[in-house]
Homo-oligomer: A and B are copies of this chain.
């Protein structure tokens, strides 16, 4: 039985508690929050869970094996570090930290102490994203592009830009789905509220191969869109998260390149590209709640000394891109190399 303390009972914390409560091998020992009303709510719904506003109390309690952190981003690093120093495993909300340097130190700490460090990249545990990865691995051929749009009339955040709030989802999905990691980023965007972070942004990610990725995030759109296109030489995918059941559509479409076309000055529109169109199919998806699956896996990793799918390294890779994109955005799209960063790290 793994004892877990949930820290932060705002928007996401209740989901953590509800899902951990359903795992046979785990239990929520504490909920920790600074707001008394929230703690009162916990007591009302879960009389057996202890409540506290003292993080240190949790760290001292030997019944606590792991800490699940669902607090504002800026507190992830200090809380996670303290928890690991006290020997606790850590499950932390995304983005994992405010800077790549923080994220790197968290990864090192977990490695040094052989603790499980999982980052809550929830989407990679959905049936849709897992299916997408499966298709990318087995039939997409050479991958040409990854294009994602995540826009709606959303809650403006005051501490982080739309990149850290929305693009983090796309970056974590990409990190899981694509076999390659980006080497550079160019980002543009704008803040429409004086003194506040960007509410609209566009990221282009470059890779060593010809793969190109692009993410469009916007808190100020009249319609909600959650749509990703992945184009490959073999097949193409449309992932629309707002579809009730057919979230993933796989198209047997693309171009075929003619081996050795003769350049012929006379024909202006000579074609070396052919077009292929075929069936489309929408595979059935596992509709299990992603967060439950993810937390069960976290518990299992603690039990078996395993590696979570979204571990600290994945979290670090995502934060690195967020950081570089933020730099690029401040310079109207100047490309920022991620390789270089990696070396520094």
- Measuring CB to CB, which residues of chain A are less than 8 angstroms from any residue of chain B? 45, 72, 144-145, 147, 149, 151, 153, 156-159, 184, 186, 188-193, 196, 200, 202, 204, 206, 210-212, 214, 216, 218, 220-224, 229, 231, 236-238, 242, 244-246, 249, 251-255, 257, 268-273, 275, 277-284, 328, 331-335
Contact = CB atoms under 8 A, between A and B. Distances in A.
Given A158-B270, A270-B158, A281-B281, A220 B254 contact: yes
Nearest to A73: B268
A266 to B, nearest CB: 10
Contacts of A210: 190-192
A189 to B, nearest CB: 7
Given A149-B149, A156-B271, A279-B283, 18 more contacts: A72-B269, A144-B190, A145-B200, A151-B229, A159-B269, A186-B332, A188-B204, A188-B214, A193-B272, A202-B202, A222-B229, A222-B280, A223-B238, A224-B244, A279-B281, A331-B335, A334-B334, A334-B335
A250 to B, nearest CB: 9
A79 to B, nearest CB: 14
A279 B284 contact: yes
A231 B154 CA distance: 14
A244 B38 CA distance: 30
A96 to B, nearest CB: 18
Contacts of A229: 151, 221-223
Given A200-B145, A216-B214, A255-B220, A278 B284 contact: yes
A212 B189 contact: yes
Contacts of A231: 218, 220-222
28 contacts: A45-B45, A145-B190, A147-B216, A156-B271, A158-B269, A158-B272, A159-B269, A184-B332, A188-B204, A188-B206, A188-B212, A190-B210, A190-B211, A190-B212, A193-B255, A193-B272, A202-B204, A204-B333, A220-B255, A221-B231, A223-B251, A246-B280, A252-B284, A279-B281, A279-B282, A279-B283, A280-B281, A328-B333
A314 to B, nearest CB: 25
A222 B280 CA distance: 10
Nearest to A220: B231
A275 B275 CA distance: 39
Contacts of A222: 229, 231, 236-238, 249, 251, 253, 280
Contact of A200 (B189, B202, B212, B278): B212
A72 B268 contact: yes
Contacts of A269: 72, 157-159
